Structure 1
Amino acid sequence: MELIGQSAKCVVLLLLTAVSVQSVFVEPPQPITSLRSMAESQTRLPCRYQVQAGEKVVQATWYKELPDGSKEQIITAHFRDGHTEFGRYSGRVRFEGGSPTENSALLILSTEESDEGSYACHISTFPNGNFERHITLTVWILPISSLEPVVLEEGQSFRLAASCRAVGRPPPLLSWDTDLPGQSSNRSNVGGSVSSYFSLHPLRSMNGKRLDCLVWHPGLEQPRRISNSLVVHYPPDATISADTDDWFAGLENAELVCSSGGNPKPDNITWTRGGGALPDGASVIGGRLVFGRALRLNDSGVYECVVRNKVGAGKTEYKLAVTETSHRTSPIDNQLLIIIGAAAGALVMVLVIVVLLVNRYHRHRNKKLERELSEKTEEINSFSRQASFRRLNSVSTDSRVPPEDYTMLRVDSRMKNSEMSLAQQEEGAEPREPDPGQPREGDPTPPEEEWAPTPSAEEEQDNDDTDSSSYQISEALTNHFYYSNGVLRPKPHSNAILLHPRGQII
Structure 2
Amino acid sequence: MTSPPTRLSLCLSVLRIFAIQGTFVELPPKDSIRSLAEEETVLPCRYQPSESNVVVVQVTWYKEKPDATKEQIITAHHMNGQTAFGTWSRRVRFRSSEPTVDSSLVIMSTEVSDEGEYICRISTFPSGNFDSEMSLIVWTIPISSLDPVILVEGQSYRQAASCRSIARPPPRLSWDTDLNGQSINRSSDNGAVSTYYSLHPLRSMNGKKLDCLVWHPTSLTTRRLSNHLVVYFPPHVEVSGYNGDWSIGLENAALRCTSGGNPKPQSFTWIRIGRELPEGVIPHPNGTLIFGRPLSLSDMGTYQCVAKNEVGVGKAEVEIAVAEARGEPDMPENMLMLIVGGVAGGLLMLMLIIVITVTCRHKSKNRKLERELREKKEEICTLSRQASFRRMNSISTDTRGATEENIPLRVEGTLRTSLSSLGQETRFHPPLTPTAFPMVQSTEIVRQLNGSNVIPTDGGSRPGSVSRHHQHPPRSCSYPPDDEDEVDEGLGGPASQEHPDDQDSETNSSQVSEVHSAHYQLTNGTLRPKPRPSPAVISPHASLIHKAQIV
Give TM-score scaled by structure 1 length: 0.64
The reply to whether residue 91 of structure 1 matches residue 90 of structure 2 is: yes
How far 1:64 sits from its partner (Å)?
0.6
Alignment CA distance shift 1:243-1:317 (3 Å): closer
* Of 18-27 and 243-252, the range deviating more from structure 2: 243-252
Instruction: Give 1:52's match in structure 2, choosing from 42, 46, 50.
Output: 50
Looking at structure 1, the residues matched to 17 and 353 of structure 2 have their Cα atoms a distance apart, in angstroms, of 120
Looking at structure 1, the residues matched to 137 and 157 of structure 2 have their Cα atoms a distance apart, in angstroms, of 43
| Contact 2:22/2:51, CA 8 A, preserved across alignment | no
Q: Deviations over 1:12-53 (max 9, x none)?
A: 2222222223431111177x5511111111111111112333
Looking at structure 1, the residues matched to 345 and 196 of structure 2 have their Cα atoms a distance apart, in angstroms, of 70
For 1:123, the equivalent position in structure 2 comes to: 122
Which stretches of structure 1, 4 residues or more, deviate above 6 A after TM superposition? Answer: 335-339, 347-354
Alignment CA distance shift 1:276-1:100 (3 Å): farther
For 2:392, the equivalent position in structure 1 comes to: none
Looking at structure 1, the residues matched to 211 and 347 of structure 2 have their Cα atoms a distance apart, in angstroms, of 67
How far 1:91 sits from its partner (Å)?
1.1
SS of 1:258's partner is: strand
How far 1:244 sits from its partner (Å)?
5.8
Alignment CA distance shift 1:102-1:204 (3 Å): same
| Contact 2:20/2:51, CA 8 A, preserved across alignment | no
Looking at structure 2, the residues matched to 59 and 230 of structure 1 have their Cα atoms a distance apart, in angstroms, of 65
| Contact 1:275/1:304, CA 8 A, preserved across alignment | no
How far 1:9 sits from its partner (Å)?
3.4
Q: Deviations over 1:206-262 (max 9, x none)?
A: 111111111111111112111111110100000011176531222222111101111
Letter of the aligned partner of 2:50 in structure 1?
A: Q
For 2:293, the equivalent position in structure 1 comes to: 293
Alignment CA distance shift 1:327-1:19 (3 Å): farther
For 1:225, the equivalent position in structure 2 comes to: 224
Q: Mind listing any 5+ residue stretches in structure 1 that lack a counterpart?
A: 355-506
Alignment CA distance shift 1:247-1:74 (3 Å): same
| Contact 2:179/2:208, CA 8 A, preserved across alignment | yes
Q: Deviations over 1:430-461 (max 9, x none)?
A: xxxxxxxxxxxxxxxxxxxxxxxxxxxxxxxx
Letter of the aligned partner of 1:16 in structure 2?
A: L
Taking the TM superposition and a 5 Å limit, the aligned residue runs for 1:268-347 are 268-286=267-285, 287-325=287-325, 329=329, 343=343
Alignment CA distance shift 1:328-1:41 (3 Å): farther
Looking at structure 1, the residues matched to 28 and 145 of structure 2 have their Cα atoms a distance apart, in angstroms, of 43
Q: Deviations over 1:455-474 (max 9, x none)?
A: xxxxxxxxxxxxxxxxxxxx
For 1:202, the equivalent position in structure 2 comes to: 201
Letter of the aligned partner of 1:235 in structure 2?
A: P
For 2:540, the equivalent position in structure 1 comes to: none
For 2:38, the equivalent position in structure 1 comes to: 40
| Contact 2:95/2:104, CA 8 A, preserved across alignment | yes
Letter of the aligned partner of 1:53 in structure 2?
A: E
Letter of the aligned partner of 1:173 in structure 2?
A: R
SS of 1:169's partner is: coil
For 1:103, the equivalent position in structure 2 comes to: 102
Alignment CA distance shift 1:249-1:131 (3 Å): same
| Contact 1:33/1:134, CA 8 A, preserved across alignment | no
How far 1:351 sits from its partner (Å)?
11
| Contact 1:246/1:326, CA 8 A, preserved across alignment | no
Looking at structure 1, the residues matched to 337 and 60 of structure 2 have their Cα atoms a distance apart, in angstroms, of 105
Alignment CA distance shift 1:142-1:349 (3 Å): farther
Looking at structure 2, the residues matched to 28 and 350 of structure 1 have their Cα atoms a distance apart, in angstroms, of 105
SS of 1:103's partner is: coil
Alignment CA distance shift 1:82-1:349 (3 Å): farther
How far 1:268 sits from its partner (Å)?
2.2
Alignment CA distance shift 1:180-1:33 (3 Å): closer
Looking at structure 2, the residues matched to 345 and 118 of structure 1 have their Cα atoms a distance apart, in angstroms, of 105
Looking at structure 1, the residues matched to 301 and 35 of structure 2 have their Cα atoms a distance apart, in angstroms, of 79
Q: Deviations over 1:185-208 (max 9, x none)?
A: 111123221110100110011111
| Contact 1:25/1:47, CA 8 A, preserved across alignment | yes
Letter of the aligned partner of 2:111 in structure 1?
A: E
For 1:150, the equivalent position in structure 2 comes to: 149
| Contact 1:246/1:327, CA 8 A, preserved across alignment | no
For 1:458, the equivalent position in structure 2 comes to: none
| Contact 1:187/1:195, CA 8 A, preserved across alignment | yes
Alignment CA distance shift 1:330-1:220 (3 Å): farther
Alignment CA distance shift 1:295-1:106 (3 Å): same
Looking at structure 2, the residues matched to 78 and 104 of structure 1 have their Cα atoms a distance apart, in angstroms, of 11
* Of 193-202 and 56-65, the range deviating more from structure 2: 56-65
Alignment CA distance shift 1:192-1:33 (3 Å): closer
Alignment CA distance shift 1:128-1:68 (3 Å): same
Letter of the aligned partner of 2:84 in structure 1?
A: E
How far 1:10 sits from its partner (Å)?
3.1
SS of 1:90's partner is: helix
The reply to whether residue 265 of structure 1 matches residue 244 of structure 2 is: no
How far 1:63 sits from its partner (Å)?
0.7
Alignment CA distance shift 1:319-1:144 (3 Å): same
How far 1:112 sits from its partner (Å)?
0.6
SS of 1:27's partner is: coil
Looking at structure 1, the residues matched to 270 and 306 of structure 2 have their Cα atoms a distance apart, in angstroms, of 7
For 1:138, the equivalent position in structure 2 comes to: 137
Alignment CA distance shift 1:36-1:328 (3 Å): farther
For 2:532, the equivalent position in structure 1 comes to: none
Alignment CA distance shift 1:97-1:327 (3 Å): farther
* Of 50-59 and 91-100, the range deviating more from structure 2: 50-59
Q: Deviations over 1:113-137 (max 9, x none)?
A: 1000011111112222221211111
RMSD: 3.0
Alignment CA distance shift 1:91-1:343 (3 Å): farther
| Contact 2:185/2:195, CA 8 A, preserved across alignment | yes
How far 1:308 sits from its partner (Å)?
1.2
| Contact 2:186/2:194, CA 8 A, preserved across alignment | yes
Alignment CA distance shift 1:97-1:247 (3 Å): same
Taking the TM superposition and a 5 Å limit, the aligned residue runs for 1:340-379 are 343=343
Looking at structure 2, the residues matched to 166 and 291 of structure 1 have their Cα atoms a distance apart, in angstroms, of 59
Alignment CA distance shift 1:49-1:346 (3 Å): farther
| Contact 2:21/2:50, CA 8 A, preserved across alignment | no
| Contact 1:247/1:326, CA 8 A, preserved across alignment | no
Looking at structure 2, the residues matched to 188 and 348 of structure 1 have their Cα atoms a distance apart, in angstroms, of 92
Q: Alignment length, in residue pairs? A: 351
Give TM-score scaled by structure 2 length: 0.59
For 1:162, the equivalent position in structure 2 comes to: 161
SS of 1:290's partner is: strand
Alignment CA distance shift 1:72-1:275 (3 Å): farther
